[in-house]
Structure 1
Amino acid sequence: MKNGSRLAALGGLVVAGALTLSACGSDNNQGTNTANVPKGDIDCAKATVNAAGSSAQKNAIEEWTKIYAQKCAGANLNYQPSGSGAGIQAFTQGQVAFAGSDSALKPEEVTAAKQRCQGGNALNLPMVVGPVAVIFNVDGVDSLQLSPATIADAFSGKIKNWNDPTIAKENPDAKLPNTPIKPVYRADESGTTDNFTSYLQATAPKAWTWEPAKKWPAKAGQGANKSDGVTAQVKNTPGTISYVEMSYAESNDLKTAKVKNGAGEYTALTADSASKAVQGAKIVGTGNDVALDIDYTTKEPGAYPIVLVTYEIACEKGLPAEQAAFVKSFLTYTSSADGQKILTNIGYAPLPASVLTKVQGSVKALS
């Protein structure tokens, strides 16, 4: 994981009484001894709180919790990166105070979430732009550029070898080997998969005939659990191709493909190119809900089209007071200018200003 100058300016990452991020098995999520005490630029809340969900945002949560702990002694957050599906389930069952998810709540999840919030609304609060990299491990190939249809054909099993004419046409300078393509997909339910399959359906509907889903729908390839499992599988297996958040691709030194966007450009994945894709997203949530509709077919020049937005799923009201105070305090920090600045140092992109302003207002309304 990369440490930027912003983190150094805040005094380092090793702190006493650190806010812990762990695979905590405890279901005891009751906060204790809540207090709002100004500590520099963070209004602290003392509590012990559990959260779970998206592994895509794990690296961001790690950085945020370390910095928050520097300012807020006695604050403890146990975040389990169990995957979006498991996180939402834990949230609706009352096991965690908030959940991380790489997609907004589905209609069938809203009712259970509302019950969990004691009749209050469960809000989708975008917090992290997590670009989805198309990663590959192909002997003798350092760079690839791929169109949506080619990506869909590779993951569906229609294109079987790396030197297939379709890939060769898009990569005339590459020395493509006559070896099998080995797709790797997320075996667990994943918001990353939901976003990636949404992208494929939106941009290559003739090649990709499955509906978007958190569970991988195609039969070709091999599954691996969570983002760590996917990156390990690709890193250790020649001939593989997969999809994973940019932060994992960078921290594991994996090769990423340039992807053709709606403007016809093969675009490299960077924090800037990912942010350009989210600029055109529409807010489809109502009230304080900030669910987004991302345009995967964006024609924005220089936009990298495969992006996901990681949400924090939080009760607008209805949590025990201690938990509510902690969640509001922590999310106020993560959605602040300082909280968003650290994202570019660790493989993410910050929220565009237009979206961030709305999120900050919604977090302020939490009670």
Structure 2
Amino acid sequence: MKLQRHGLVVALAAAGAILLAACGSDPNAGGSGAGATSSANSPAVDCNGKAGLTAEGSSAQKNAMDVFAQAYQAKCANSKIAYNPTGSGAGVKQFTAGLVDFGGSDSALGSAESGPAATRCQNNPAWNLPLVFGPVAIAYKVAGADSLTLDGETAAKIFNGRITTWNDPAIAALNSGVTLPAAPINVVFRSDDSGTTDNFQKYLKASSKGAWTQDAGKKFTGGVGSGAQGSAGVAQAIAATEGSIGYVELSFAQDNELGIAKIDSGAGAVELTDANVGKAIAGVTVTGQGNDLVLDLTKTYAEPPAGSYPLFLATYEIVCSKGYDAATATAVKSFLTVAATDGQANLSAAGYAPLPAEFQQKLLTAIQAIA
């Protein structure tokens, strides 16, 4: 089934009404859905912590956070969360400065970020908890091209300026029967520090057979194109200019009615669907230690399972393992517990892949260990 946002408002309203009627603030109640635990198995939620949580960061998870916020308030009627989608770089900085309760980042903390984050946590480690899996679309607007297939090598050459026109032979070879114009390619990239950019460039580096010679990182390094602020800005810029292509989370591509390229990893074109993304996520391994759940996506990018769509990111919630005051620790744990269970039910409708079952228990174990 394709990931779709259509009907999200109705689905959320219905889900909220059911939860409010059935759960109230009962700590043992919970919803169920694809990838989420049933109410019988959901961990207890303590609704007596800090009433107003604050968080900031990844714009890629903004729509997921809206889903989680509604599930959280349905579970804990007097509790709210304010999430500011300013980008991964800003989220890490705000968390490290102690200005928000947790940060959202599409990349795990780097070595230069871990020390300041630990200082913010009263000299305790900060943990990277993967809560949201978001497919990244290579989105485009090309008149007459209702279908577009790219592989890692061709995509890399587009985004570093080695392929500059839509009818280039390399693109044509992957798109038999599709009429592509002899028009320039307009690349659009994220101008702000972005974990989406980091993951996209890691994908290009891993999958392009050496065609991507630039670095990865939260700044776009391709050297071509025009920048736009945030995921919404990139999608709007592509939609506004014929012949444009960029990388953006699925929900933003859908909202702007953009074309979404299929990816050929060597065994044929693969469409971006729930099932195809799930095949790729299932092969990812955890490389972090203990409850620091850092994921290794590079191998999946380079050698995805057959029939899988390999371009996705994991958004981490950056939290203190210890160091919160008691009320904040209680609220952070409660929100993340609801997000990892009840909150997973409506993620597919919002453009995300529900949390894989193999990660859910590890994630809940880490959440409960926050002190």
Q: TM-score, normalised by structure 2?
A: 0.89
Query: Paired residue for 2:247?
Result: 243
Whether contact under 8 Å (1:121, 1:317) holds in the other structure is yes
Which residue does 2:39 correspond to in 1? none
Does 2:203 align with 1:199? yes
Among 349, 352, 363, the alignment partner of 2:353 is: 349
Higher RCO structure, 1 or 2 (CA under 8 Å, sep 6+): 2
Asked if structure 1 preserves the Cα contact closer than 8 Å seen for 2:58 and 2:91, the reply is: yes
| Structure 2 residue 213 is matched with structure 1 residue 213 | no
Is 2:161 aligned against 1:172?
Answer: no
Please say if 1:328 is aligned against 2:328. Answer: no
CA contact (8 A) 1:39 1:71 kept: no
Listed as ranges, the matches of 1:73-222 within 5 Å are 73-222=77-226
* SS of equivalent to 2:354: coil
For the pair 1:38 / 2:27, whether they are aligned, the reply is yes
Matched position secondary structure for 2:115: helix
Contact 2:71 2:338 survives alignment (8 Å): no
User: Match for 2:285: what amino acid?
Assistant: K
Alpha-carbon distance, 1:46 to partner? 4.4
The letter of the residue matching 1:102 is D
Structure 1 CA distance for aligned equivalents of residues 66 and 29 of structure 2: 20
1:278 alignment counterpart: 281
Q: Tell me how far 1:292 sits from its aligned partner.
A: 0.2
Deviations 1:281-308 (A, max 9, x none): 1101101111000120234122101110
The answer on 1:7 being equivalent to 2:7 is: no
The AA in structure 2 aligned to 1:227 is S
Matches within 5 A, 1:8-23: 8-12=13-17
Query: What is the CA–CA distance in structure 2 between the aligned matches of 1:63 and 1:78, rounded to whole Å?
Result: 12
Q: 1-side partners of 2:26 and 2:319: how far apart?
A: 22
Contact 1:46–1:74, Cα closer than 8 Å, also in 2: no
Asked if 1:229 corresponds to 2:233, the answer is yes
2:311 corresponds to 1:311:
no
Tell whether 2:274 aligns with 1:268. no
Cα distance in 2 for partners of 1:164, 1:123 equals: 45
- How far does residue 3 in structure 1 lie from its aligned partner after superposition? 3.9
- CA distance in 2 between partners of 1:258 and 1:185 (Å): 19
Instruction: Provide, for residues 136-184 of structure 1, a one-character-per-residue CA deviation record: whole Å limited to 9, x for no partner.
Output: 0001111100111110111111111101111111111111111100000
Counterpart of 1:292?
Answer: 295
CA deviation after TM superposition for structure 1 residue 251, in Å: 2.2
Cα offset, 1:11, TM superposition: 3.6
Q: Secondary structure, in 3 states, of the residue corresponding to 1:241?
A: strand
**Residues paired across the two proteins, number:** 345
Equivalent residues of 1:148, 1:200 under 8 A apart: yes
User: Secondary structure at the residue paired with 1:79?
Assistant: strand
Rate the CA distance shift 1:299–1:196 in 2: closer, same or farther, 3 A. Answer: closer
Q: Write the distance in 2 (CA, Å) between the matches of 1:238 and 1:297.
A: 31
Contact 1:274 1:303 in 2 (8 A): yes
Query: Does the C-alpha gap of structure 1 residues 351 and 38 become closer, same or farther in structure 2, counting only changes over 3 Å?
Result: closer
Question: Could you say if the C-alpha distance between residues 250 and 43 of structure 1 is closer, same or farther in structure 2, counting changes exceeding 3 Å?
Answer: farther
> Conserved in 1, the CA contact under 8 Å of 2:267 and 2:306?
no
Bigger shift: residues 173-182 or 272-281? 272-281
Per-residue CA shift, 1:27-48, capped at 9, x if unaligned?
Answer: xxxxxxxxx9737335424421
Q: Percent identity?
A: 45
Corresponding residue for residue 23 of structure 1: none
CA gap of 1:46–1:112, structure 2 versus 1, over 3 A, is: closer
Closer, same or farther in 2 for the Cα pair 1:317/1:306, shift >3 Å?
same
Question: Does the residue aligned with 1:317 lie in a helix, a strand or coil?
Answer: coil
CA distance in 2, matches of 1:107, 1:3: 42
Query: Which digits, 9 at most, give the CA deviation of each residue in 1:57-83, with x for residues without a partner?
Result: 000001111222233232121110000
- How many angstroms apart in 2 are the aligned matches of 1:301 and 1:164? 27
Give the ranges of 4+ consecutive aligned residues of structure 1 lying more than 6 Å apart after TM superposition.
none
